[in-house]
Amino acid sequence: MKKILPFPLAIGGTFTVNAQFTQDFEASNGDRGYDWGNCWQMGAIAYRNSSSEVISGNWSARSNSLSNPSLDACWIKTPFLTWSAGSVTLDAKLINNTGTTMFIAFRFIPYDANDTWYEGTPYAVEYQFDFQKVGNSFTTNVENISFPVPAQYQDGNAYKLMISFAGTGGNNRVITDNFSMPATYYADPSNNCQPLSASSVSDADGDGVADNDDDFPNNPNLAYRLVFPAPGQFNTLAFEDLWPAYGDYDFNDLVVDY
């Protein structure tokens, strides 16, 4: 029997009525394992909380040194999500002004049941943001990056979004934060992070907890409720009004069964 406590559930992001999926790296408190457990994946990414590297809040993500133009060298992958109309947005900045080229590329990844990570081959780059130079140097200004989700990914199937950080020359890195996506969490952490539909799991409110394990299947902010003692059982509370003095010490000033 489920013993469930009503509290807000945050799995890999924040869920709202308009199905906006977010990541600001705060919930993990610097522990990437927290986000890995919620089906995020990362390559050559660190979490940083130094004042010079944080964009907002207490934590931001930082790439390795970007001297490799490969899209597979340094990246973040979202969990499987179902996508709707709207724009992907995030903040990013460079840590210094060196380098020849610095860019962020976005690709969607389909589900593939036969792959070790259940990922098909990433599709072509949907959007690339190129950091611009002023004169011969990059700036370290925070850039707000945005691009619309293409219609072909709004088909009800689950896709990951792969965000690649790449460049050539210099010794520069990207700091990134405040991801926001018009999408609903659709991964199943209990089944190797496959899409929920592939696991034959129903999750009506899209909070990452299957309906048959969810005491609030239509509320994305609640999932569990704790009942103590067990349903149909009772305990007793007895109070002594002079405690901690001994007094008459009979604990009968108030007696409550609950």
Q: Which amino acid is at 21?
A: F
One CATH from 3.30.365.10, 2.60.120.260, 3.30.950.10, 1.10.645.10 for 20-213 = 2.60.120.260
For the segment 154-210, what is each residue's pLDDT rounded down to a tens digit? 999 999 999 999 999 989 999 999 999 999 999 999 899 999 876 556 778 877 777
End-to-end C-alpha distance for the chain, whole angstroms: 20
CA–CA gap between residue 118 and residue 111 (Å, rounded):
6
Confidence of residue 17 (pLDDT cuts 50, 70, 90): very low
For the segment 84-124, what is each residue's pLDDT rounded down to a tens digit? 999 999 999 999 999 999 999 999 999 999 999 999 999 99
Parallel, antiparallel, or unpaired: how do β-strands 194-195 and 187-188 relate?
Answer: antiparallel
pTM of the predicted protein model:
0.72
Confidence of residue 5 (pLDDT cuts 50, 70, 90): very low
CA–CA gap between residue 46 and residue 66 (Å, rounded):
13
- Rg (C-alpha) for the chain, rounded Å, is 24
Residue-range domain boundaries for the chain: 20-213, 228-258
